Chains A and B, each alone.
Chain A
Amino acid sequence: MKIVVPQFPGTNCEYDTKYAFERLGFDVQILWHEESLIPAGTDLIVVPGGFSYGDYLRSGAIARFSPIMKAIKAYADTGGYVLGICNGFQILLESHLLPGAMKRNENLHFVSKHQYLKVENSDNRFLRKCRVGERLNIPIAHAEGNYFIDEESLEALYDNGQILLTYCDKDGNPDNPNGSVGDIAGICNKERNVFGLMPHPERAMEPILGSDDGIRMLEGFLS
């Protein structure tokens, strides 16, 4: 199983992402953003976290126009699997590969902590190893994770089962760290081949890191 991880100026989670997927047995290649071809045989593209282009203008707004993003869009349009984590999620939103937009966190703080997530939908490639209602303990680290979408489009997300993860406490009660609508932490597109989430499963791969719940999430992509 072959994974490509695009790297933009300011990306800083590409090596954590590579390490996490290699632990699961994937072959991972980091690809500079000026590349315009996705290698043949790629099974998954993971757009990693960080601060692409210094988050100038808006998070992800400038990375969207990198040559590699055109290739990623074409890859997704033909049904290829794409996962965006944190800044990667923001880039997928700016690229319109996923619906909605990010605002500054409601309390304006950069929030960096472990956060429980509730699995809302596991009928997809990403979370198929998880159970609906299951709680996962995963780190978050962001200043712009306040997901926003207009009411009509939010209804469509619910109707199509596109809301994958919501923020909660350890008992499963809503516990929202950033003000996102519907406590949303992660979504997918209607076709269920493009996924985005603010939390960092690649940082929860070993008990010594405080949690290894990230394994159950990422191993969904194994064949």
Chain B
Amino acid sequence: MKAIVNVYLKEGVLDPQGKAVHHALGALGFDSVSDVRVGKQIVLDLDAVSMQSAEEEVKRMCETLLANTVIEDYSVEIVQ
């Protein structure tokens, strides 16, 4: 089983990297972009008895280590 975790800064928390990338895209003529958020993706290979138990465990990993919930949100996707 694989877990795909996406971690990104919360809405309302200014994302300096996203802002810089947005600015660079504008300078290259890509005017259609209204906002950019830069996050990170963490892919875990794991053993779990069910997709539900895997998701619960990975969420605990996010709360404990993978995300800093003071400034970051995360999403978890479990794939077979």
Contacts and interface: CB of A to CB of B under 8 A. Distances in A.
Contact of B70 (A106, A108, A148): A148
A101 interface: yes
Contacts of B16: 103-108, 146, 179
Interface string B5-18: 00001000110110
Interface string A84-107: 000000000010000011011111
A144 to B, nearest CB: 10
B43 to A, nearest CB: 14
Q: Tell me if A's interface is mostly helix, strand, loop or mixed.
A: loop
Contacts, number: 34
A180 to B, nearest CB: 11
A108 B16 CA distance: 7
Nearest to B71: A101
Contact of B13 (A62, A105, A148): A148
Please tell me the size bucket of the interface on A. Answer: 10 to 19
A103 B68 CA distance: 11
Interface of B: 9, 13-14, 16-17, 20, 65-66, 68, 70-71
